[in-house]
Structure 1
């Protein structure tokens, strides 16, 4: 958008003023990224399966929760775009943790579901995943944890 002659843009403060007040450490995206990095580091260190990523864990956990579902829906439920969920599912299939099966109501639709191995892995790692969440949130008291989760739910 072209700048007005006064040096301001429509609906914003002068560029220099905004730049002077922008402190990276106080920005939500930066704070969320650092918290996410901390959580992912704890996950990698504690989960006990060096091949399992947080996104793969999310897919396993959601499949445990929902049962077999389409790849498209699994992506939406886990907040992954189409190419990311495709890669996650491909890697989980290669490990024998999930498989595909035709939908009984619509044979054109393939459902992704946990295999016996995937179910066993999920059951064995769920307590560790809970501990990782606990450690991620350990700097917060119970009220702060509930407030944080409530506020994050509002941002979704």
Structure 2
């Protein structure tokens, strides 16, 4: 590496560890977000052990629980996943009897997804487990830190939403 590439200590391009900015994995926001996501998925899976349920499946059921009908694409966008992944998740929910998927009356090309009564009961059953996973996830933070963390997460998501492969509505 030439001296042109080495920045003075304390400059914007140097990490607190004296390394070039982003040399260290722990200095990369994207890496930390991915790692944090892995941890969340593990906590959710542990809390919902034996239910054969993913966090994304529960998110879809939670959106449907509000009672509104969604076409497959709108439901996928509401959860922030791409159309193909959304269709796969919906198939699994339908197969389990937690949701229905029928042709739309307004647009025969679209398929409308609704939650079933079994799906509603399942959401109510899983809710305490989901809450426990969320609580465990943020437990190391003080209440003020949790508020700040949530505000910063929302700010980053809103500012970068269009860069996603599956922008949310």
TM-score range (shorter-chain normalised) is: 0.7 to 0.9
Once the two structures are superposed, what CA deviation does each residue of 1:2-46 show, in whole Å capped at 9, x if it has no partner?
Answer: xxxxx9xxxxx84x6668332211111111112111111111111
1:113 alignment partner, SS class: strand
Deviates more, 1:47-56 or 1:104-113: 104-113
> SS at 1:51's partner residue?
coil
Partner of 1:146 in structure 2? 147
Q: Aligned with 2:114: secondary structure?
A: strand
Q: What is the TM-score with the length of structure 1 in the denominator?
A: 0.82
Q: Give the count of matched residue pairs.
A: 144
Aligned-partner SS, 2:102: strand
Q: Say which SS state the counterpart of residue 53 (structure 2) adopts.
A: coil
Q: Distance in 2 between matches of 1:64 and 1:126?
A: 12
- Identify the residue that residue 59 of structure 2 maps to in structure 1: 58
Q: TM-score, with normalisation over the residues of structure 2?
A: 0.76
More deviation in 107-116 or 126-135?
A: 107-116
Write the distance in 1 (CA, Å) between the matches of 2:44 and 2:118: 20
Distance 1:20 1:109 in 2: 50
The answer to whether the aligner puts 1:20 opposite 2:20 as a matched pair is yes
User: How far, CA to CA, are the matches of 2:132 and 2:138 in structure 1?
Assistant: 10
The structure that is helix-richer by fraction is 1
Unaligned runs of 5+ in 1: 1-6, 8-12
TM alignment of 1:3-152, pairs within 5 A = 14=5, 20-22=20-22, 23-65=24-66, 67-152=68-153
Question: CA offset at residue 73 of structure 1?
Answer: 0.6
